[in-house]
Structure 1
Amino acid sequence: MSEHPYRLAVIIASTREGRFAPVIANWFSRHAETHAHIDLDVIDLDTVRPYELRYGSEEFESFAKRIDEADAFVVITPEYNHSFPAPLKHAIDLLHRQWQAKPVGFVSYGGISGGLRAVEQLRLVFAELHATTVRETVSFALSGNLFDEAGSLHDPAPATQAADTLLHQLTWWAVTLREARATRPYGG
């Protein structure tokens, strides 16, 4: 473990009105903040509005800088029609070098599949960008039934254990790849 915290960007993919994403994102962010070696940056695509970003604009540069400064990512994504949200694809496609040689983890939610079909497609997208996806995920099947009105899980143990496993894997990759990029810049 490095003595320096690493920057973890949590990307909230859903921009739909009435979305469940903030419940999942708040739960995961609160949990990630209990890991002292993580410096958290929550990037909500509903606020970023990727379709409105124009190259060279202040908003575009701000988004690019946040992605560039991240050592690792966790994408919080729902599954829409067996895939992930279009605004997420657009946000990913706006950049290239900023994603390279960095690890990506996933927290997914949705119907019976828990968003895992969206995650499988995202693995292909990030592989094309030379990013490394970690094996473990946190998945919430029928997510609306799992949380109470305050955004707390009825049974937190399974999700907490999955989140810890995801964060341990992500931490290893984040620190290792950060050190590697500092020693030898990635040339992908």
Structure 2
Amino acid sequence: MDRIVNSRASADAPLRTAVIVGSTREGRGGAAIAQWFAECSRQEAALELDVIDLAEFSFPQRYPRRATPAMLDFSKRVDRADAFVVVTPEYNHGYPASLKQAIDYCCDEWFAKPVGFVAYGTAAQGLRAVEQLRQVFNALHTVTIADVVSFNRFDGSLGDDGRPRDTEAAGIAVRRMLAQLTWWARALRAARAELPFAA
């Protein structure tokens, strides 16, 4: 009986969702887009957000034999999360090296959790970077969300403050993606509690 009660309590608990800002480049658009996305997402009572800005971490230039404090901090925050939203630019048809570096600092911390994407770039709106990231996250046994929130930074879709001008359309895209992310996050959290993931 206790197990059933505890299971129901955990099922109702807010979903810990890490919003990862993937670019560390000066002048990046990702910080403003991530802030806007977080504000939209906080309206969802089911979510407990943790914005992880990679620009705030002092990661080593070379992969060390032992994890540094920054690496440990990042991996702990990834481990705590039930779901992820990766905010990524598209640089030269790909995603930034800073994001790949951070992803590779973790392994089973990613397993059996959903990943959504907010992307930005030029005409392709960052979608080529997202497709490459799907391959990476597939290798880490995640579930990537089909619907993507995406923007062209240079066609007037974003204002001078880096936020979407058409907040209604952008808000619809966010809600659609979060609905899928939330469904998978609840299902996978329950599955992980019931049985360890078989990697």
- Give TM-score scaled by structure 2 length: 0.89
2:21 to 2, 12, 18: 12
The equivalent residue for 1:25 is 34
- Counterpart-to-counterpart distance in 2, 1:181 and 1:48: 29
Q: Which moved more, 1:64-73 or 1:45-54?
A: 45-54
- Which residues of 2 match residues 87-166 of structure 1 at below 5 A? 87-142=98-153, 145-166=156-177
Secondary structure in structure 2 of the residue aligned to 1:90: helix
Deviations 1:35-63 (A, max 9, x none): 01100000001112444575333222211
The equivalent residue for 1:85 is 96
Residues 114 and 143 in structure 1, CA contact (< 8 A), matched pair in contact too:
no
Identical positions, percent = 47
Structure 2, unmatched stretches of 5+, are 1-7
2:38 is equivalent to residue 38 of structure 1: no
The equivalent residue for 2:87 is 76
Matching residue's letter, 1:107: V
Residues 74 and 107 in structure 1, CA contact (< 8 A), matched pair in contact too:
yes
2:192 to 173, 178, 181: 181
RMSD of aligned alpha carbons: 1.7
Matching residue's letter, 2:95: F
Structure 1, unmatched stretches of 5+, are none
**Closer/same/farther in 2, CA of residues 79 and 129 from structure 1, 3 Å limit:** same
- Counterpart-to-counterpart distance in 2, 1:70 and 1:132: 14
Name the count of aligned residue pairs: 188
Residues 10 and 74 in structure 1, CA contact (< 8 A), matched pair in contact too:
yes
The equivalent residue for 2:3 is none
- Counterpart-to-counterpart distance in 2, 1:150 and 1:134: 27
- Counterpart-to-counterpart distance in 2, 1:93 and 1:184: 25
- Counterpart-to-counterpart distance in 2, 1:51 and 1:150: 31
Q: Which moved more, 1:7-16 or 1:46-55?
A: 46-55
2:73 to 31, 43, 62: 62
Q: Which moved more, 1:105-114 or 1:154-163?
A: 154-163
Residues 50 and 87 in structure 1, CA contact (< 8 A), matched pair in contact too:
no
Q: Which moved more, 1:139-148 or 1:120-129?
A: 139-148
- Counterpart-to-counterpart distance in 2, 1:5 and 1:66: 16
- Counterpart-to-counterpart distance in 2, 1:150 and 1:135: 28
- Counterpart-to-counterpart distance in 2, 1:181 and 1:47: 30
Deviation at residue 8 of structure 1 after TM alignment: 0.3
